[in-house]
Amino acid sequence: MLGGFISKKYFDRKRVVFVSNAKSYIESVKDTIQRRDPNQTEFQEAAFTVLDTLEPVLDKHPEYIKANLLERLVEPERAIQFRVPWQSDDGQFHVNRGFRVQFNSAIGPYKGGLRLHPSVSLDVVKFLGFEQVLKNSLTGLPIGGAKGGSDFNPKGKSDSEVMRFCQSFMTELQRHIGPDLDVPAGDIGVGGREIGFLFGAYKRLNGYQNGVLTGKGLTFGGSLARPEATGFGLLYYTHAMLKALGDTLTNKKIKVSGAGNVATYAIQKATEYGATVITCSDSDGYVYDPNGIDFKLVKQIKEVERGRIKEYAQRVETAEYHDGSVWDFDINYDIALPCATQNEISKDQAKLIAKDRVKYVCEGANMPSVPDAIATYRDNNIYYGPAKAANAGGVAVSALEMSQNSERLSWSFETVDNRLHDIMDNIFEISEAADKEYQLNQDYQAGANIAGFEKVAQTMMAQGLV
């Protein structure tokens, strides 16, 4: 069958690409990405990491090559950039950039978070949007992929400044979103406070449509267990992986990075499983507590007081604070759960993870390990749970929030949490099944990419030239 495509020509504007097989087709798609957006290094990292694992699927489905499916998959359906003017408390006028990348709507309305951080750019939003497409597919729920945000820095801003920014941001974003069109939620720098301000601004312009955002407050359509979902889901996934490998979380020593939404609830659930979380961090430094990090205190300092993690060590006698990255801290432990940000683990830091006898790395943050770090895990027989599988619990419960909004009912915490647990078990199972089907030797990263891709690919094929 594949022979039919040998020497097939694709006419790509002025270039002629000879596609002889799956491998050269993938290389030609990577060339196209590089040629179109040479400076989008984070998007390239996310896209190439996925493309490099799809060769066996294309060998099995040469019709995807004929349909030039990968080139369509890596091109967002729509990328919106807009001006966000706002006024600070001292009366000065400021302008930030807003983005929404609506990446793929094959299997449902666009869905994905909004990030407020100075590093946000079209590149970052595209990498996150691309990851979201396959992640959302893995949840088994009917949601397409998107991401958005702004280079606005919420650090040190007053509540009024954050509110005025959110109102201005939504003044533009509102024309592009809707309960059946595109449903944003939180991400770095966007939690319950920001979603409330964004929802209020949307409502003033369009009336009450509570399915337009997720992560809402419980009094206006939010779901119980959404704040906990990403962190809890990460531990349900990790638990499923360890179980499949004949191991448990009990008495394991865990390093967590970050001290935000994902990290806080990951620490809580890990502790409930009988593990000890010995670290957490922010962008200045990390806390080490051999007795186990108290998630309630982290939440109080970071979410309520909006302070720095340094303050944790000032309040807990057994804890130490150090400037720098938690991944440079040399101590033996069992499991690494990066929950801060992209590319936080370099190749050298991955080597230290291996030296520190870590057996498992499961990602709460999006793309926290650089490609060379992932290769280092593989070389050292460290089992690796990639972000798009391990952190899918947040968006999964967002989709359950959409269901509750549609039926105008609220489910109990237990109902949502049980469904989350089932979804995370299923994500591990389908990733493992793809790993076995394609004989990948316990490569759960490739397994997740393939399982997420197959549903989107089949759907895009069924929908014609989309």
Ligand X SMILES: NC(=O)C1=CN([C@@H]2O[C@H](COP(=O)(O)OP(=O)(O)OC[C@H]3O[C@@H](n4cnc5c(N)ncnc54)[C@H](O)[C@@H]3O)[C@@H](O)[C@H]2O)C=CC1
| Distance from C-alpha of 239 to C-alpha of 325, rounded to nearest angstrom | 26
Give the shortest CB-397-to-ligand AKG separation in angstroms. Answer: 7
Q: Per the structure block, which two tokens stand in for 127? A: 């990498």
Q: Are 133 and 103 in contact (CB under 8 A)?
A: yes
Does 230 count as an annotated binding residue?
A: yes
Asked if 282 is part of the footprint of ligand X (rule: CB under 6 A), the reply reads yes
Q: Of these partners, ligand AKG, ligand X, none, which one is at the site of residue 339 (CB under 5 to 8 Å by kind)?
A: ligand X
- Contacts to ligand X from residues 342-371, by CB under 6 A: 344, 364-366
In the residue annotation, 299 being an active-site residue is answered as no
Does 135 count as an annotated binding residue?
A: yes
3-state SS assignment for residue 277: strand
| Distance from C-alpha of 153 to C-alpha of 85, rounded to nearest angstrom | 14
- Contacts to ligand AKG from residues 116-145, by CB under 6 A: 132, 135
| Distance from C-alpha of 240 to C-alpha of 202, rounded to nearest angstrom | 39
Of residues 42, 123, 161, 187, which one binds ligand AKG by CB under 6 A? Answer: 187
DSSP string for 294-329: -HHHHHIIIIIS---THHHHHH-TT-EEEES-GGG-
Sign for the CA dihedral angle at 428, 144, 133, 68 comes to: positive
Q: Per the structure block, which two tokens stand in for 91? A: 């009366």
Give the shortest CB-113-to-ligand X separation in angstroms. Answer: 6
Of residues 104, 137, 139, 257, which one binds ligand X by CB under 6 A? Answer: 257
Q: Which residue has 């400037």 as its token pair?
A: 323
Active-site entry in 8, 14, 66, 147: 147
Q: Of these partners, ligand AKG, ligand X, none, which one is at the site of residue 104 (CB under 5 to 8 Å by kind)?
A: none
Q: Of these partners, ligand AKG, ligand X, none, which one is at the site of residue 214 (CB under 5 to 8 Å by kind)?
A: ligand AKG
Partners of 9 in the β-ladder: 18
| Distance from C-alpha of 355 to C-alpha of 348, rounded to nearest angstrom | 11
Residues 6+ apart with CB under 8 A from 138: 388, 389, 392, 427, 430, 431, 448, 451, 452
Q: Are 29 and 428 in contact (CB under 8 A)?
A: no
For 98, half-sphere exposure in the C-beta direction (CA atoms, 13 angstrom radius) is 21
Q: Which is nearer to ligand AKG, 395 or 416 (CB)?
A: 395
Give the shortest CB-239-to-ligand X separation in angstroms. Answer: 18
Of residues 40, 214, 257, 261, which one binds ligand AKG by CB under 6 A? Answer: 214
- Contacts to ligand AKG from residues 356-415, by CB under 6 A: 366, 394-395, 398
Asked if 281 is part of the footprint of ligand X (rule: CB under 6 A), the reply reads yes
Q: Of these partners, ligand X, ligand AKG, none, which one is at the site of residue 168 (CB under 5 to 8 Å by kind)?
A: none
Q: How far is CA 157 from the centre of its chain?
A: 25
Asked if 427 is part of the footprint of ligand AKG (rule: CB under 6 A), the reply reads no
Q: Which of 29, 37, 38 is nearest to 73 (CA)?
A: 29
Does 111 count as an annotated binding residue?
A: yes
Q: Give catalytic residue positions.
A: 147
Chain residues binding ligand AKG by CB under 6 A are 111-113, 132, 135, 185, 187, 214, 366, 394-395, 398
Chain residues binding ligand X by CB under 6 A are 186-189, 191, 230, 257-263, 281-283, 302, 339-341, 344, 364-366, 391, 394
Which residues does the annotation place in the binding site for NAD(+)? 230, 261
Which residues does the annotation place in the binding site for substrate? 111, 132, 135, 186, 398
